[in-house]
């Protein structure tokens, strides 16, 4: 995935079944952000793979004051990349069988 | 220590310190 300066990782091991996964997001390279970033640490949240969109979560982070509006896109993309990888892994495990 | 932020949509964000080992060297 492209280096966006924002790192997103699983906060707990993915069991491959739950729609809601726990993710952890933090800024690795503040220089890649356009707006002012509130240096608060890692943000942990749950993400529903079926009902939610990465951009929606990014917007909520902006509204909560973690990121500037101009960085919603880069945060959303970072979450989207990680979510795509998790979905890909799940599909691969399903097709590989037990 | 972790802090919690609950958005108007009901989402909960838990903020915790990033382990130094996981930060890129500046």
Predicted pLDDT at A81: 97
Euclidean distance between CA atoms B22 and B17, whole angstroms: 11
Predicted pLDDT at B19: 63
Question: DSSP secondary structure string, chain A?
Answer: ----SEEEEESS---S--SEEEEEEEES-GGG-SS------EEEEEEETTT--HHHHHHHHHHTTSS-GGGHHHHHHHHHHHHHHHHHHHHHHHHH--
> In chain B, which residue's Cα lies nearest the Cα of A63?
B7
Most B CBs within 10 Å: which of A27, A43, A52, A58, as the mutation test of the B interface?
A: A43
pLDDT digits (tens, 9 = 90+) for A70-80: 999 999 999 99
pLDDT digits (tens, 9 = 90+) for A49-91: 999 999 999 999 999 999 999 999 999 999 999 999 999 999 9
pLDDT digits (tens, 9 = 90+) for B1-26: 678 999 988 899 999 887 665 555 44
Cα distance between the two ends of chain B? 24
Euclidean distance between CA atoms A91 and A83, whole angstroms: 12
- Candidate from A29, A41, A64 with C-beta closest to B7: A64
Cβ–Cβ < 8 Å for A46, A20: yes
Euclidean distance between CA atoms A5 and A97, whole angstroms: 35
Predicted pLDDT at A13: 93
């Amino acid at each position: 995935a492209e280096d966006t300066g924002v790192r997103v990782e699983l906060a707990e091991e993915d069991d491959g079944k739950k729609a809601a996964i726990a993710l952890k997001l933090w800024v690795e390279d503040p220089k890649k952000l356009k707006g002012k970033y509130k240096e608060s640490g890692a943000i942990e949240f749950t993400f529903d793979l079926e009902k939610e969109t990465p951009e929606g979560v990014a917007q909520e982070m902006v509204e909560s004051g973690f990121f500037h509006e101009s960085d919603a896109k880069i945060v959303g993309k970072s979450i989207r990349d990680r979510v795509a990888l998790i979905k890909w892994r799940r599909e691969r495990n399903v097709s590989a069988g037990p | 220590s972790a802090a919690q932020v609950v958005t108007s949509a009901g989402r909960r964000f838990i903020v915790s310190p990033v382990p130094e080992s996981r930060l890129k060297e500046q």
